[in-house]
Structure formats: structure tokens, C-alpha cells
Amino acid sequence: MKSRAVIVTGSTSGIGAALAAAFAEAGANVVLNGFGDAAQIDRVRRDLAQRHGVDVLYHGADMTRPEEISDLISMTERRFGAVDVLVNNAGIQHTDRIEHFPPEKWDALIAINLFAVFHGTAAVLPGMRRRGRGRIVNIASNHGFSGGVNKCAYVAAKHAVLGLTKVTALETAGSGITCNAICPGWVKTPLVDRQIEARAARDGLDIGEATWRLLIEQQPSGRFTTFDQLAGAALFLCSETAANMTGASITQDGGWTAL
Ligand code: NAD
């Protein structure tokens, strides 16, 4: 990854932050994106750059806004001469029955978890085609394959992301560009912590018991997928070994989709 330019959307927290750190450790220049405390983001940015001797930038594009996504891509191309890797990771969750699901939550979730993947992909492809190389990694979910009660928008978005991954792969096949998806099951991040807290409150459980039940009901291994495991998969997809792998989905879900 030495001197490659990598954008990880939604990298101020959770999986995205871990992937951005892994790419920096592998020698890539990285563009962070996402919301959060400006001083904290800047600390992380400077720390990654110093520790790994790479350039790390931050762009605060709101991934619901196509013009800001386009600015994120063009800033990266201006600063680094290319976007070698785009990791479409930014995502949110909201849980509710379909008939109670607030339409504005549906719109926001579909905009971030799905439409942003389209807009980001459309904006990086011209440059990748010109250079004859590129990697697009979409962070989907086990919910790209399976349903889930109270998760209509999330499941719809993640199924669609897998479809978009396949179309991107087909349209770029043979061009030096690949597009693949990683489909994690439960990963311990703020997005999941909120679901654990909601379950604890709903069922009158302590956090430990709520965590265990959440895991074991759906993830047969009974273990969270780790950041290191996800980073390994993302780096693999960007390696020469995966040069002829495109349109694929790697599940890292402890057997969830094997059920
Ligand atoms: P997280 O809440 O820890 O991080 C989400 C990131 O997205 C943050 O950096 C946040 O600032 C950013 N973000 C949110 N809205 C944004 C917007 N409008 N514009 C730009 N950035 C925005 O979540 P996470 O668990 O790390 O999830 C990351 C991705 O992994 C998501 O796509 C999620 O669906 C997927 N995923 C997570 C799990 C899990 O168990 N945590 C499982 C499968 C898939």
C-alpha cells in the first residue's frame, strides 16, 4: 500500500477508524471522513501520520450530500494525484417496525448506507479508469443476505449495496479496477453498543447478559468479529492476490449467514 491514496468514509469511529489505521500502518496515505469532535479527529489524524510516516488528511463531507462526496474525491485526487482505494464504510442504524419507522429515518439511512456508495463510486471511477487501477471496498453486512426484525431500511440498503457491488464489478471487469464487499456480522462498535443498550433496557438485563444474548441468538461463534479481522480482509482485497477477485462478498459473521 506504500504511497497509495485511500479514502475511508465514516472513519471517525468504529470499523472505519480501524480500517483507516490499518491502511496507514500498511504505508498508505489516508483520508479520514466522518463526524465527531474536531480536536479529537485532528489528534487521531496527526497521531496516525506521525506513527506511520504517511500523510493523513481529514475531509468532513456529509455522505448524504452528493456535492460534498464529489468534493471529498476531488480533494484527494488534487492532494495525492489519485484515489487508489475507496472504502465505502459510513453507515447508520435505526430500528423500528415498518409501520412505525419514521420516514425521515428511512431517508437518512438509505442516503448514507446506499446512495453514498453510488455517489462515491461514480465519482472515483473516471480517475481509476484513466489510471487503469483501483480498488473499491464496500462495507456491507450479513444483512446484505439475511433479513432482521425492525431493520427494514438497513436490510434494504445492505442488500442493495451487494447488488451495486456486482454491477460495479461487471462494469469495470478487466480494467484493473475491482469492487468487492465485506459483510461483517456483529462487531463491537458504537453502532452495536446502542442496540445492546436498547435490548438491556427493553428486557431488564445488565449489559453483559444483553451482549451475550445479542451475540448468541444470531452469530453462532458467540464472538464479535474484530477490527483486525476486518482490516485483514480489506488489505487482502487491495492486494495483488485479489487482483482477479471482483463482485465478491466476504462474510465475517461467525456463521450467521450459514444458519
Ligand atoms: P459507527 O457508528 O462506529 O461509525 C459510523 C461512522 O460513520 C462514523 O465515523 C460516523 O461519523 C460516520 N457517519 C455517519 N453518518 C455520516 C454521514 N452522513 N456522513 C459522513 N459520515 C457519517 O459504526 P460502525 O459499526 O463502525 O459501522 C461502520 C459500517 O460497518 C457501517 O456501514 C455499518 O453498517 C457496517 N457494519 C457494522 C457492523 C457492526 O456490527 N458494527 C456489522 C455489519 C456492518
Residues 139 and 167 in one domain: yes
What number is the average pLDDT over the span 116-137?
A: 98
Give the dihedral sign, CA 73/9/141/147.
negative
Is the per-residue pLDDT at 129 higher than 90? Answer: yes
Per residue in 70-103, pLDDT (tens digit) is 999 999 999 999 999 999 999 999 999 999 999 9
Total domains present in the chain: 2
pLDDT at 28: 98
Residues 169 and 252 in one domain: yes
The catalytically annotated residue of 23, 80, 115, 154 is 154
Per residue in 3-37, pLDDT (tens digit) is 899 999 999 999 999 999 999 999 999 999 999 99
pLDDT at 148: 94
Render 20-71 in DSSP notation, one character per residue.
Answer: HHHHHHTT-EEEEE--S-HHHHHHHHHHHHHHHT--EEEE---TT-HHHHHH
E-only strand ranges, the chain:
5-8, 29-33, 56-59, 85-88, 134-139, 177-184, 249-252
Per residue in 204-213, pLDDT (tens digit) is 999 999 999 9
- Reading the block at residue 134, the C-alpha cell is 483501483
Tell me the CATH number at 133.
3.40.50.720
Clarify whether 58 is annotated catalytic.
Answer: no
| Residue range of the domain that includes 24 | 5-186+225-258
Residues 194 and 120 in one domain: no
Mean model confidence pLDDT for the chain: 97
pLDDT at 191: 85
Residues 182 and 198 in one domain: no
Residues 97 and 213 in one domain: no
How far, in Å, CA of 157 to CA of 106, rounded? 10
Per the CB < 8 A criterion, the answer to whether 161 and 181 are in contact is: yes
Looking at the DSSP assignment, which residues form a beta bridge with residue 32? Answer: 8, 58
Residue with cell 446512495: 115
Residues 108 and 217 in one domain: no
How many CA atoms lie less than 13 Å away from 251 in the CB half-sphere?
15
Q: Cα of 174 to ligand 1 centre, how many Å?
A: 31
Residues 122 and 193 in one domain: no
Residues 178 and 201 in one domain: no
Measured from CB, residues less than 6 Å from any atom of ligand 1 are 10-16, 33-36, 62-64, 89-92, 112-113, 139, 141, 184, 186-187, 189-192
Q: Fill in the DSSP letter of residue 113.
A: I
Residues 140 and 71 in one domain: yes
pTM for the predicted model, two decimal places:
0.97
Q: Cα of 182 to ligand 1 centre, how many Å?
A: 13
Is the per-residue pLDDT at 111 higher than 90? Answer: yes
Residues 133 and 65 in one domain: yes
Q: Cα of 133 to ligand 1 centre, how many Å?
A: 27
pLDDT at 259: 87
Residues 114 and 229 in one domain: yes
Per residue in 144-195, pLDDT (tens digit) is 999 999 999 999 999 999 999 999 999 999 999 999 999 999 999 998 999 8
Secondary structure class of 205 (helix, strand, coil): coil
Residues 194 and 122 in one domain: no
How far, in Å, CA of 80 to CA of 1, rounded? 13
